Amino acid sequence: MLADLEALVTCESFSADHAALATCARVLAARGSRLLGAEPDLIVTDGVTHVRWAFGTPRVLLLGHHDTVWPTGSLRTHPWQVRDGIATGPGVFDMKAGLVQLLHAVAALSPAERDGVCVLVTGDEEVGGDASRTLIEETARTCAATFVLEASADGGALKTARKGASWYEIHVKGRAAHAGLEPHKGVNAAVEAAHQILALTALADQVGADTGETGTTVTPTLLTSGTTGNTVPAAARISVDVRVPSQAAQRRVDDLVRGLRPVDPQAALRVSGGPNRPPLDADSSAALYALAQRKAADLGMPPLRGVSVGGASDGNFTAGVGCPTLDGLGAVGGGAHADHEHVQVHHLPTRARLLTELIREVNR
C-alpha cells in the first residue's frame, strides 16, 4: 500500500494542470490494473481526465478524486516521506491515501463479489466538479449505495452529513477618473464593493430568520479592484463562498444574492455563479453509517463516530440524486490543504478491510 501511495503522491496532480492530471490518471490506472486485473476507462471531459472501472451493472459506487489543491512543483517544498508511521506529501491525505485504500479493498473481493461494483475517480473535485458531475450523477442513479473515500474527519470519524455549497462572483461596474484631479467624475467600484461585502455578510442571519435553520454561512473571499494607484477604479469583483444546511437555505441565499442592488445608483452589479453542490443530509447516510458501525465492531476496530462537516465533496452529488451515501471512509490523518497534511500509515489496511466488508454486505 505504501508503494502505491508513493507512486500517486509523487505524481503531482494540481486541478488546474490538465496535463499533470492526465499523467496521474495513467499512473492510477496502472496501479489499479495490477491490483484488479482489469484496465479502466480513461474519460476526458472538458480536458479533465477521470478513471473508471465498471464490473458489470453498477450497484455500488466507490467514489474518489485524484486532483489536489497543490500547485505543480510542490514536491520540492513538501516531499514524499514516511517517518515514525506518518506519511506526508502533497495530496497524501486529501485524498490519495483514500484511493489506495479503495483499490486494495476491491482487490480483496473475489471476481463474483466485484460484479456490480463501479470505481469512479474524478479529476476536478477540488474545483467544483463541473466536468464530472453528470458522470457521477448518472452512475449514482443506478446504485444502491455510494461509498466516498474522502479523508476522514478528526480521529477517523466518518462524514455522515455535509453542507451544500454555492459559489458566486459579484461584478461591480463603476467609472474611471483621475483620483487626484477629478475623483468626483468617477464612480468608485471599490467603494461600491465595500457596501456589497457588508450586505453579503448580513445574508446568513436573514436566511436563518427566513428558514428557521442555523448553520448557513456567506463568506466574501477574494476581492479585486482597480488598475493604478491614482485612478478611481472602474471595476471590482467579489468572490463569495456559501455553505448551507438544506436546499431551502440554498434557494433562499440564491434569491438574496441575486437581489442585491447597488448603493450608488451610478454603479451596476452583475451576479454570476450559483448553487454547486446540494447538501448531503444525515438521512442519506444513516443506514450505511449503522452498517459501518456493525462491520467495524466485527473487525475489532474502535467504535466509529459520525460527524457533520461544512466542506462539500462529490458525495453531495450522489446524495442529491437520491443514492444513499457514506463519506469520509478514506485516510486517517489531518492537515488537508495545509503544510502539515499527513496520514497515519497503520490505519490504511484497517480502513481498506472495512470498505471490503461494506461492499460485500451491500452488494449481496
The residues near 347 (Cβ < 8 Å, ≥ 6 apart) are 156, 331, 332
What is the C-alpha separation between 330 and 311, in angstroms, rounded? 15
* Nearest CA-CA partner of 201 in 242, 258, 248: 242
In three-state secondary structure terms, 10 is: coil
Query: Where do we find the cell 484496465?
Result: 39
Percent of the chain at pLDDT > 90 equals 99
In three-state secondary structure terms, 22 is: helix
Q: What is the pLDDT of residues 18-46, one digit of tens each?
A: 999 999 999 999 999 999 999 999 999 99
Give me the amino acid identity at 170: I
Q: What is the pLDDT of residues 71-80, one digit of tens each?
A: 999 999 999 9
Q: What is the pLDDT of residues 267-277, one digit of tens each?
A: 999 999 999 99
Classify domain 2-162+279-362 at the CATH superfamily level: Zn peptidases (3.40.630.10)
For 142-146, what is the mean pLDDT? 97
Q: What is the pLDDT of residues 87-111, one digit of tens each?
A: 999 999 999 999 999 999 999 999 9
Q: What is the pLDDT of residues 338-359, one digit of tens each?
A: 999 999 999 999 999 999 999 9
The residues near 48 (Cβ < 8 Å, ≥ 6 apart) are 18, 21, 67, 122, 123, 124, 131, 132
Q: What pTM does this model have? A: 0.91
Q: Is 322 left (phi over 0), alpha (psi -120 to 50) or beta?
A: left
Grid cell digits, residue 136: 457521477
Give the CATH class of 164-277.
Answer: alpha beta
63-77 as b/e: b if 16+ CB within 10 A: bbbbbbbbeeebeee
In three-state secondary structure terms, 219 is: strand
pLDDT at site 285: 98
pLDDT at site 297: 97
For helices 203-211 and 247-258, what crossing angle results, to 10°? 130
Q: Delimit the domains of the chain by residue range.
A: 2-162+279-362, 164-277
Residue 291 half-sphere exposure, CB side, CA atoms within 13 Å?
21
What is the C-alpha separation between 62 and 257, in angstroms, rounded? 35
